[in-house]
Structure 1
Amino acid sequence: MNQDYISYMRSKVGHDKIILNFAGGILANDEGKVLMQLRGDKKTWAIPGGTMELGESSVDTAEREFLEETGIAVEALRLLNVYTNFEEIYPNGDKVQTIVFIYELKAVSEIKIENFQNEETLRLQFFSRDEIAQLESVSGKHRLMLDEYFTGEFALGH
């Protein structure tokens, strides 16, 4: 297949709702703040991550997507949770139910976020739990993931 999985699926089903697998990760600095990206598509703050490609594991997806969206090479330390009960509509009209694997990550390359920007990421910044609570543009799904991370209590069935 010469095109990415989402493009292939969308060529078959248009904007109809489909289930897609995503993986991402939480990288904390020495102060316990977590790295978030200001997304290019939705203009919201989010945990870096993205769609799993055919033949890719969720760990490979999390590490690849994190590098693409932050410029930071990472290694997954542990699976934090799997979230399966969220639906989204993207700005282009695509509808999805997401299955999201979230990992705790550690950096294996230098963390340089000051001037990083690309089509998917407008800005990167480390935030504390209190600072995240003050952000208006964080989805309910990402708030739940971050709340669970900060409390260390991961519920089943999301």
Structure 2
Amino acid sequence: MADYISYIRSKVGHDKVILTFAGGILTNAAGDILLQLRGDKKTWAIPGGAMELGESSVDALKREFLEETGIEVEPVRFLNAYTNFEEVYPNGDRVQTVVLLYEVVALKEFDIAHFHNEETLSLRFFSPEEIARLASISDKHRLMLDEFLNHTFAMGH
């Protein structure tokens, strides 16, 4: 089923639901991490998105990463599952998110200089120092990035 979120929202409105997402961390040769400036919340985030019914987390990751960045990726390592975060979207939708996070590599050369669409206002690689100073990032994404940068992944998030 395409567009599971629209389907489930037609049944429950803005009530809180559990949704599963897949996200990917892509680094460049300098170790900087690609983040997207989200169109909905105007915050910097790890690229990724919601799984559709019948879709694996890896397939969702590849699809969403391509949609949000224009980059074809392949996961090389599963990093962690994050299950204890709640969000309220600008349209009033409430969710508890389950995020399956992967480290990814690009399958071919890419150029992010002019990429943008409805979901992604801008793309940029950030150094660990720049990430530490970012104010416009959610607690969930900050935790994911901190764990990746510190090479320590705790269970139970």
Cα displacement string for residues 64-102 of structure 1 (whole angstroms, at most 9, x for unaligned residues):
100000000000001100000000000000000000000
| Structural RMSD (CA) | 0.7
Superposition deviation, residue 56 in structure 1: 0.5
Correspondence list, 1:101-112, <5 A: 101-112=100-111
Alignment partners' CA distance in 2, 1:116 and 1:156: 35
Count of matched residue pairs:
157
Which residue number corresponds to residue 37 of structure 1? 36
- Separation in structure 1 between the aligned mates of residue 124 and residue 151 of structure 2, nearest angstrom: 22
Structure 1 gap ranges (5+): none
User: SS state of the match for residue 69, structure 1?
Assistant: helix
Following superposition of structure 1 onto structure 2, how do residues 90-129 of structure 1 map, counting pairs within 5 Å? 90-129=89-128
Deviation at 1:110, TM superposition (A): 1.6
Tell me the equivalent position of 1:76: 75
Whole-angstrom distance in 2 between the partners of 1:33 and 1:108: 18
Q: 2:151 aligned with 1:152, yes or no?
A: yes
TM-score, normalised to structure 2, is: 0.98
The alpha-carbon deviation at position 120 of structure 1 amounts to: 0.2
In structure 2, list runs of 5 or more residues that go unmatched. Answer: none
Q: Residue 151 of structure 1: CA displacement?
A: 0.7
Match status 1:26 vs 2:21: no
Whole-Å separation in 1 of the counterparts to 2:51 and 2:109: 25
Deviation at 1:109, TM superposition (A): 2.1
Distance apart, 1:133 and its partner CA? 1.1
SS of 2:130's partner is: helix
The letter for the 2-side match of 1:24 is: G
What is the CA–CA distance in structure 2 between the aligned matches of 1:109 and 1:120, rounded to whole Å?
Answer: 22
2:137 aligns with: 138
Partner of 1:11: 10
Secondary structure at 2:7's aligned position in 1? helix
Q: TM-score, normalised by structure 1?
A: 0.98
Q: Which 4+ runs in 1 deviate beyond 2 A?
A: none
Q: Which amino acid aligns with 2:66?
A: L
Structure 2 CA distance for aligned equivalents of residues 85 and 134 of structure 1: 24
1:135 CA displacement: 1.1
User: Aligned equivalents of 1:4 and 1:27: distance in 2?
Assistant: 25
Deviations 1:43-76 (A, max 9, x none): 0000000000011000111111000000000000
Percent identity, aligned pairs only, is 70
Alpha-carbon displacement from aligned partner over 1:12-71 (angstroms, at most 9, x marks no partner) = 000000000000100000000000000000000000000000110001111110000000
Q: In structure 2, what is the equivalent of residue 55 of structure 1?
A: 54
